[in-house]
Amino acid sequence: MKHLNAIFEGLGSAILLAYRAFASLPSAPRIIKRVIEQVYLAGYSTLPIVSILSFFIGAVLALQSGISLQNFGAKQLIGTLVGESLVRELGPLMVSILLAGRVASATTAELASMKVYQEIDALETMNIPPARFLVLPRLLANLFYMPVLTMIGIIIGWFGGAIVCEYVGFIGVDSGQYFHSLTQFMTIRKVFDGLIKAEIFGFCIILIACNTGLRTKGGPREIGYAVTRSVVLSLITILILDYFITKALA
């Protein structure tokens, strides 16, 4: 019962935080600088790791599907499999998991230490709502960088698959065939679905990170607990949401 109460309390405060943040949307022109700063800190800085992971996920996917599909004589479908898996599932999911590990943890740690060291109290006495000053720039920045990161991750993953197909001898599918197969069944709708997923995941991750950080009470030890809680909660949330969004978009 106690845990259930805590879950509903957390959910309620996250919804309230999102409402407060977006209620101050008309003041967005004043926070453009901070939005750009967040796009750089959270989005641009995550790009190298997204690129490396996407490349190898695409490569592994091509390798595994090459091994499996050659038993059925369907190696020419590797492109379709890699393309669709990355666009609809692995691309958004992988970028979100990276976001939870890298950005959500940093966000929670920053806001939790601001809370513990009374910086949030100082903002409140100055009548500067933390939802507007700290949360809204992060949520808005996320709306910009999440689809871009996801799209870049997907494209690099596709190329990772292409290189494996081209250079791993037993697969024997050239990159021309691979891309022909990849584009044959690819539609704008599928790409759009993947990006929608990424947007929803990203929004939830940043909201959870901010909410967990701002609800931190106590001392330095609680900052560590808050970071762990934020990452775990983000991962659970995106995996649960993934099922429902996939079902809704099917």
Tokens 């099917």 belong to residue = 250
Nearer to another protein, 19 or 192 (CB): 19
CB 156 within 8 A of CB 48: no
CB 169 within 8 A of CB 75: no
Residue 127: exposure state from Cβ atoms within 10 A (0-12, 13-18, ≥19)? exposed
Q: If you ran DSSP here, which 8-state letter would residue 127 be given? A: T
Q: If you ran DSSP here, which 8-state letter would residue 131 be given? A: I
Nearer to another protein, 23 or 248 (CB): 23
Nearer to another protein, 16 or 232 (CB): 16
Question: Quick check: 6 binds another protein (CB under 8 A)?
Answer: no
Question: Quick check: 40 binds another protein (CB under 8 A)?
Answer: no
Phi, psi of 139 (to 5 degrees): -70, -40
Q: If you ran DSSP here, which 8-state letter would residue 1 be given? A: -
Instruction: Output the six-digit token pair for 167.
Output: 């250079």
Question: Quick check: 32 binds another protein (CB under 8 A)?
Answer: no
- Write the interaction track for another protein spanning residues 123-152; mark x where CB under 8 A is met and - where it is not: -xxxxxx---x-------------------
Question: Quick check: 25 binds another protein (CB under 8 A)?
Answer: yes
- Write the interaction track for another protein spanning residues 72-111; mark x where CB under 8 A is met and - where it is not: --------------------------------------x-
Question: Quick check: 15 binds another protein (CB under 8 A)?
Answer: no
Contact residues for another protein (CB under 8 A)?
22-27, 30, 110, 113-114, 117-119, 121-122, 124-129, 133
